[in-house]
Amino acid sequence: MMALSKAWKLTRRPVGMPAIRDFTLVEEPVPPCQAGDVIVQAECLSIDPYMRFKAGILPLGSTMDGGQVARVIESKNPQWPVGSYMVTQAGWRLTTHLSSERLQTTDFWQKSLQLPDMRGLPMSLGLGTLGMTGNTAYFGLTEILRPVAGETVLVSGAAGAVGSVVVQIAKIKGCKVIGFAGSDDKVEWLREIGADHAFNYKVVKVGEALKQAAPAKVNCYFDNVGGKFTASVMPYMAFGGRVAVCGAISGYNKQEEEEEGAMTGCFKDSDVIWNRLRIEGFMFFEFEDRWMEGLEQLRDWILEGKLKYKEYVVNGFEKMPDTFIGVLKGSNRGKAIVMP
């Protein structure tokens, strides 16, 4: 008898904020394990804001996209013995058949990756600080922004999974750090992890806060938000400032289509030109050849007590859509993880 797996399917295109009715929990067969294949069981699943973008482009009826730490429960592949663990983009699914072709792919997004030596740390960190999230923060700051000790670093979405790591690495690098988040308890978390200045953007004016916190202006801006927030930051960038565009969560639920060439961006030409700003978008997989380097450095900082992490753990696979919607509303404090 063929094994079955539970999976969450995208069955309705979200309009604005996703709703529970956009997703359907189904059971489907797991193909048999052939030569070179493995079958894995989800140990913990990641919930991330980018999934809202994916929900807008995935074909209806598809399994929702997402990463998970999975344990190999059946193997005909010597590289992945039974009992070994991997980080894989298997989506919102409990049991997954990974073909030999999939395991050999050169597409980094579809690759199954080994965890670093966790040295006693929770495996769920492979989806956060010791995974895609951590390396996005690590390489985005150290390679895109390249801050110098004494410079001022601004982080939007600073209490989130990526932002909170950026804040702490910037402090490790000797920088002055300003963080913005969306609630008072998140602001408290920013202070706990070392931010020199932390603000709730819902109750302060960004410009007024930056006049106070960055009188000499901002050298490096790690942008997780985009939109009006980033437009408010631009006049406070220092000459020769750098911007790393990591995300734009402020626009993930927007429905209107921008006309081609429309002047709707958050980067004002005069600010960019006169202040000689460098603005660069990036994706984590650009640093594939240095992947383990980043994870091992992040792990060592955790073990040395220099880097704190916080996980928002929800128990129950049936709560995947609820948790996803909660993340988009900002209800999580730390990396959102579902334990099935």
Letter string b/e over residues 167-192, b meaning 16 or more CB atoms within 10 A of that residue's CB: bbbbbbbebbbbbbbbbeebbebbee
**What is the average per-residue pLDDT within 324-334?**
87
Cβ–Cβ under 8 Å, residues 337 and 124: yes
The pLDDT, as a whole number, for residue 262 is 39
Q: What is the DSSP string of 284-322?
A: GGGGGGGHHHHHHHHHHHHHTTS----EEEEE-GGGHHH
**At residue 177, does pLDDT exceed 80?**
yes
**What is the average per-residue pLDDT within 108-128?**
93
The pLDDT, as a whole number, for residue 304 is 97
Cβ–Cβ under 8 Å, residues 14 and 22: yes
pLDDT range class, residue 259, cuts 50, 70, 90:
very low
Distance CA 9, CA 26 (A): 7
Give the residue range(s) of CATH 3.40.50.720 domains in the chain.
Answer: 132-285
pLDDT range class, residue 71, cuts 50, 70, 90:
very high
**At residue 210, does pLDDT exceed 70?**
yes
**Which residue carries 């030999």 as its tokens?**
100
Distance CA 40, CA 71 (A): 5
pTM for the full predicted model: 0.85
The pLDDT, as a whole number, for residue 157 is 92
The pLDDT, as a whole number, for residue 319 is 98
**At residue 260, does pLDDT exceed 70?**
no
Distance CA 141, CA 128 (A): 16
The pLDDT, as a whole number, for residue 333 is 75
**At residue 263, does pLDDT exceed 80?**
no
**At residue 39, does pLDDT exceed 90?**
yes
Q: pLDDT > 70: what percent of the chain?
A: 95
Lowest mean pLDDT among 46-50, 265-269, 308-312: 265-269
**At residue 261, does pLDDT exceed 50?**
no
**At residue 258, does pLDDT exceed 60?**
no
Q: Interior CA angle at 165 toward 317 and 47, to 5°?
A: 15
**At residue 11, does pLDDT exceed 80?**
yes
- Assigned CATH topology for domain 132-285: Rossmann fold (3.40.50)
pLDDT range class, residue 330, cuts 50, 70, 90:
confident
The string of pLDDT tens digits covering residues 143-153 is 999 999 999 99
**What is the average per-residue pLDDT within 331-340?**
88
Residue-averaged pLDDT of the chain: 92
**At residue 7, does pLDDT exceed 80?**
yes
| Of 266 and 15, the one with more pLDDT | 15
Task: For CA atoms 72, 75, 77, 82, give the dihedral sign.
Answer: positive
Q: What is the CATH number of domain 4-128+310-339?
A: 3.90.180.10
Using only C-alpha atoms, the chain has a radius of gyration, in whole angstroms, of 21
What is the token pair recorded at 279? 């603005």
**At residue 110, does pLDDT exceed 90?**
no
Give the residue range(s) of CATH 3.90.180.10 domains in the chain.
Answer: 4-128+310-339
Q: pLDDT > 90: what percent of the chain?
A: 82
The string of pLDDT tens digits covering residues 216-251 is 999 999 999 988 999 999 999 999 999 999 977 655
